[in-house]
């Protein structure tokens, strides 16, 4: 049975997600110190939970690809060319096809967030990251993206910084004062 390019692509993607999840989980247990605090307040809990979600998502993608592997018809240029008559035009591409590499943009935004967090502090870096993620996922109204990012910052600051007493990064330079105003 011939494997279509789409099935091969899913195989690589699932391996990448599984590998990233395993690497993140290993990095958490190697690089993050343990603590005697309650489970939700330890520095390892939330990064380990995120890595676990990443591994679970990779496994779900893998299972979905394995289940759908036999059902994917091989797409060829000949079948696409012969299906359209001389007066018919190709249909508009689906929005999902237009955003084929959107996940790379999301990963780049999160990587930039992780890099900027120690310098900008939690409030500023998280507000910028949340706004960028909203924009990258299709929110085109500036006010909506801004309100969503500020709401996210407020909720996570209250939950983690105030209620759970997790130390959030305050940044460096003038960003210390901005972050200190909120927590």
Tens digit of pLDDT for each residue in 2-43?
Answer: 555 554 455 676 677 677 778 877 777 777 666 666 666 666
- Is 13 within 8 Å of 62 (Cβ atoms)? no
Q: Is the pLDDT of residue 129 over 90?
A: yes
The pair of three-digit structure tokens given for residue 31, joined into one six-digit string:
């690089």
Q: Is the pLDDT of residue 132 over 90?
A: yes
pLDDT-derived band of residue 174, with 50, 70 and 90 as boundaries? very high
In this prediction, residue 151 carries a pLDDT of 95
Q: Is the pLDDT of residue 128 over 80?
A: yes
Average pLDDT, the chain: 76
Question: Which of the two residues, 83 and 178, has the higher pLDDT score?
Answer: 178
Distance in angstroms (rounded) separating the CA atoms of residues 70 and 64: 11
Least Cα distance to 134 among 121, 119, 149, 120 occurs for 149
Which strand (E) or helix (H) includes residue 150?
helix 142-156
Q: Is the pLDDT of residue 171 over 70?
A: yes
Distance in angstroms (rounded) separating the CA atoms of residues 133 and 138: 9
How does DSSP classify residue 172? S
In 46-181 the beta strands, taken as DSSP E runs, fall at none
Distance in angstroms (rounded) separating the CA atoms of residues 133 and 62: 25
Q: Is the pLDDT of residue 179 over 70?
A: yes
Least Cα distance to 178 among 131, 127, 144, 129 occurs for 127
pLDDT-derived band of residue 61, with 50, 70 and 90 as boundaries? confident
In this prediction, residue 37 carries a pLDDT of 65
């Amino acid at each position: 049975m011939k494997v279509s390019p789409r099935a091969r692509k899913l195989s690589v993607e699932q391996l990448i997600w599984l590998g990233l999840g395993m690497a993140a989980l290993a990095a958490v247990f190697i690089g993050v110190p343990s603590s005697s605090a309650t489970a939700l307040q330890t520095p390892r809990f939330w990064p380990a939970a995120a890595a676990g979600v990443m591994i679970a998502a990779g496994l779900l993608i893998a299972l979905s690809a394995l289940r759908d592997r036999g059902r994917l018809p091989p797409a060829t240029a000949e079948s696409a060319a012969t299906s359209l008559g001389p007066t018919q035009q190709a249909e508009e591409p689906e929005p999902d096809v237009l955003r084929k590499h959107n996940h790379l943009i999301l990963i780049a935004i999160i990587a930039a967030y992780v890099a900027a967090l120690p310098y900008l502090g939690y409030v500023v870096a998280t507000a910028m990251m949340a706004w960028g993620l909203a924009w990258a996922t299709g929110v085109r109204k500036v006010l909506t993206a801004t309100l969503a990012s500020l709401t996210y910052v407020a909720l996570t600051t209250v939950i983690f910084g105030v209620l759970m007493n997790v130390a959030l990064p305050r940044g460096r330079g003038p960003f210390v004062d901005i972050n200190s105003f909120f927590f």
